[in-house]
Amino acid sequence: MNEMTPVDNLPADIDSLWAGDGSHLPEWFIAALKVPREEAYVEISGAKVHYLRWGSPEKPKLLITHGFLAHARCFAFIAPFFAQDYDVVAFDLAGMGDSEMRGAADTAARGREFTEIAEALDLFADGHKPTIIAHSFGSGAALTAVTQSPDVFAGLVVCDLMIMRPELLEKYWSRDRASPGSGNPDKPNKHYPSYAAARERYILSPPQPVEEPFLLDYIAYHSLKNEGDSWTWKFSPEVFRRSNKPDEWLNMGKRLVQAPGRKAIVHGGNSLLFSNDSAEYIRELGGDNIPIIAVPEARHHLMLDQPLAFVAALRSILALWATNA
């Protein structure tokens, strides 16, 4: 039985705590965080899954998730722009953010997370088919989800998923870069004596500057937790205990093109992981019918570089699909 419970390990006004008096923040961001939302856990397979929800239950459904080692609040200032027209759920993947680890962390298990959370929150009720919006690693998991359950989702918007020609991806990895999700599952997370010390260690992957530094501070704040006299990362080391192989990433372009249902791609115009050549590669693989939108001046972390342009790109895709429904 799935049982919803309010978040009980976070202050209700945690975003306000981070923001202080808000005088340094733009009005659009303050307004987005003021849009009414539900924050709670739902229990799935004996583990708590953390989610945020906006909008009205009778509206079309959006199911949103984040990249590797990130959390749902990557979309906490994006999702509110869809609250008027949609029932929007952003959730933390298992072992990341404020969701507990459950089961395995392999490719198949990650795909099942989308149907599990959708079922737990009744997103399939009355014949609804949620549209998935996912960033980076979450997009790869979402591709698995729509392949596993091709008839229950309305579409998938892939946001800056790492897709390169295999030979270019191997060159990218050879430059001292690890494949996504590499890490030691048996090594405990490091503890730091203060939040400031931990914040200094927070970096993006791939490393990049951001156009909106206050958003990076926001994401970093929600990536850490206080434990007694120290601070440490929220994610569980168990997320590194994965069975996926590098060839899954080498074949990501084919996986995307062959995945069932409607698909669209939004990527940073300056992304290191999805370039104009990536778009050409998708076309060569047979993905001519997949809309591909580049967000100018954005890198991999679109929501931190050009959040409002990112919103506009997502709105365009959803409007196109609504027109062609």
pLDDT at position 103, please? 86
Q: The CATH number of the domain where 105 resides is what?
A: 3.40.50.1820
pLDDT band for position 181 (cuts 50, 70, 90)? low
Residue 8 lies in a domain: yes
pLDDT at position 186, please? 86
pLDDT at position 238, please? 94
Starting at the edge strand found earlier in the chain, the sheet holding 230-233 runs 191-192, 230-233, 224-227
Distance CA 88, CA 93 (A): 16
pLDDT at position 10, please? 41
pLDDT band for position 303 (cuts 50, 70, 90)? very high
The tokens 């440490």 sit on which residue?
232
> What φ, ψ does residue 230 adopt, rounded to 5°?
-140, 170
Residue 192 lies in a domain: no
- Counting the structural domains of the chain, the total is 1
The beta-strand segments (E) located in the chain are: 4-6, 38-44, 47-55, 61-65, 87-91, 131-135, 155-159, 191-192, 224-227, 230-233, 263-268, 292-295
Torsion sign, CA atoms 292, 294, 298, 302: negative
Residue 292 lies in a domain: yes
pLDDT, mean of residues 176-181:
60
Q: What percent of the chain has pLDDT over 90?
A: 82
Q: pTM (2 decimals)?
A: 0.93
pLDDT mean across residues, the chain: 91
Residue 42 lies in a domain: yes
Residue 236 lies in a domain: no
* Statement: residue 298 has pLDDT above 80: yes
Q: Which domain holds residue 89?
A: 4-177+243-323
Vertex 126 angle, CA 149 and 262, to 5°: 40
pLDDT, mean of residues 6-21:
54
Starting at the edge strand found earlier in the chain, the sheet holding 263-268 runs 4-6, 38-44, 47-55, 87-91, 61-65, 131-135, 155-159, 263-268, 292-295
pLDDT band for position 241 (cuts 50, 70, 90)? confident
Written as one string, the DSSP assignment of 190-247 is: PEESSHHHHHHT---SS----S-HHHHHHHHHTTEEEETTEEEESS-GGGG-----HH
Taking only the tens place, the pLDDT of each residue in 159-169 is 999 999 999 99
Q: What percent of the chain has pLDDT over 70?
A: 90
Residue 195 lies in a domain: no
Taking only the tens place, the pLDDT of each residue in 56-115 is 999 999 999 999 999 999 999 999 999 999 999 999 999 999 999 998 889 999 999 999
The residues, any chain, with a CB within 8 Å of residue 182's CB and separated by 6 or more, are: 240
pLDDT band for position 248 (cuts 50, 70, 90)? confident
The pair of structure tokens assigned to 121 is: 């929150």
Residue 234 lies in a domain: no
DSSP code, position 91 = E
Which candidate, 38, 70, 29, 31, places its Cα nearest to that of 57?
38
Taking only the tens place, the pLDDT of each residue in 18-41 is 666 666 789 999 999 999 999 999
Higher pLDDT, 70 or 7: 70
Distance CA 195, CA 263 (A): 40
Torsion sign, CA atoms 20, 201, 206, 264: negative
Torsion sign, CA atoms 265, 268, 274, 279: positive
* Statement: residue 135 has pLDDT above 60: yes
pLDDT at position 7, please? 47
Residue 232 lies in a domain: no
